[in-house]
Amino acid sequence: MDWNNKVVLVTGGTGSFGKKFVETMLKEYHPAKVIIFSRDELKQHEMRSSGFNHPSLRYFIGDIRDEKRMRRALNGVDICVHAAALKQVPACEYNPMEAIKTNILGSSNVIDAALDAGVKKVLALSTDKAVNPINLYGATKLSAEKLFVQSNAYAGGRETRFSCVRYGNVVGSRGSVVPLFLKQRESGQVTVTDDRMTRFWISLEQGVRFVIRCIEQMHGGEVFVPKIPSMTVADLAKAVAPQAEIKVIGIRPGEKLHEVLISEDEARTTVELDDMYVVQPAEALWFGRDWEKVGKKLPDDYRYASNNNTEWLEVSEIQDIVAPIEEAFLKGKLG
């Protein structure tokens, strides 16, 4: 795929993912224009001041809740990466309607505006918490996934295609537990909710490159899931604060002991490739089922969860991953 003449828009473009995605686009792919769409003028100013001032960059103030603004912003856009969301679990629980307005209704606005503007490819970022959700954040992301997959049916004769990527926790992103552990270790004690807890982990760099690859390969209707390693939260705490005491404080409301990226029910329509899984649309009414020709079907009752993963990170490997995040934290540049 040739990115040189493409116009790319990123919703939530000032977030951790958005900044890394834009940086990679500018350094390696050189699209004609990259539009950073977000609602916070201060973050846009800080992003521009930190070096994101390339001639191909455009900064659009707007909220995905505003359908008219979304339609105007997507006019002339070829590729849209939908990364805007309310993602803090406690905040979504305490402000449920706000989570619904942004994560579900806002996603619907992106879809409608993309269809009307003739955007060729729209890829939405999802999360492991969308699988068998037990909190509102996960439920809104599951709803957004369903919207994106099924909205391919609305394309009709148009070229617009919608897909999703779904992956685990991003090491060092805003809201990540890593900055929390870095702060806590100064007191000599770090807190974990349960020492049996496991999580999928992916670096920001890996997440961005996976998204770019999926944009290049998507047919429409798929949910792409990368094969990524697991770690225990206790091992993460040991890696970040080896000298600190680990205190177990109990699982919080809406928190899982283990995360799931592919459920047993989804496995029936999922195919496995060398380094990822592709969850195909359940109904073969349109496109999105061609992956069966290049991947292998999963066995019955297959479940891709953080506690039954075949790839695990040791404490020393976690320390290598955390090292650049720690360096940024100490310099006051994290987030």
Query: In this structure, is residue 188 part of a structural domain?
Result: no
Domain that holds residue 290: 7-168+201-228+260-304
- In terms of Cα–Cα distance, which of 153, 209, 204 is closest to 175? 204
- pLDDT tens across the length of the chain (335 residues): 899 999 999 999 999 999 999 999 999 999 999 999 999 999 999 999 999 999 999 999 999 999 999 999 999 999 999 999 999 888 999 999 999 999 999 999 999 999 999 999 999 999 999 999 999 999 999 999 999 999 998 887 889 999 999 998 888 676 678 888 989 998 999 999 999 999 999 989 999 999 999 999 999 999 999 999 999 999 999 999 999 999 999 988 888 999 999 999 999 999 999 999 999 988 766 666 788 888 899 998 999 999 999 999 999 999 998 888 888 877 776 55
Residue 58's pLDDT is what? 98
Check the CA dihedral 287-292-298-300 and report its sign.
positive
Cα(207)–Cα(170) distance, integer angstroms: 8
Residues 279 and 226 sit within 8 Å (Cβ to Cβ): no
Q: Which residues of 141-153 are buried (b: 16+ CB within 10 A; e: fewer)?
A: bbbbbebbbbbbe
Query: In this structure, is residue 239 part of a structural domain?
Result: no
Query: In this structure, is residue 248 part of a structural domain?
Result: no
Query: In this structure, is residue 252 part of a structural domain?
Result: no
Query: In this structure, is residue 254 part of a structural domain?
Result: no
Catalytic residue among 19, 129, 238, 256: 129
Q: Among this protein's residues, is 129 annotated catalytic?
A: yes
How many domains, in total, are found in the chain?
Answer: 1
Residue 286's pLDDT is what? 63
Q: What pTM does this model have?
A: 0.94
Query: In this structure, is residue 315 part of a structural domain?
Result: no
Query: In this structure, is residue 63 part of a structural domain?
Result: yes
Query: In this structure, is residue 314 part of a structural domain?
Result: no
The CATH number given to whatever domain includes residue 151 is 3.40.50.720
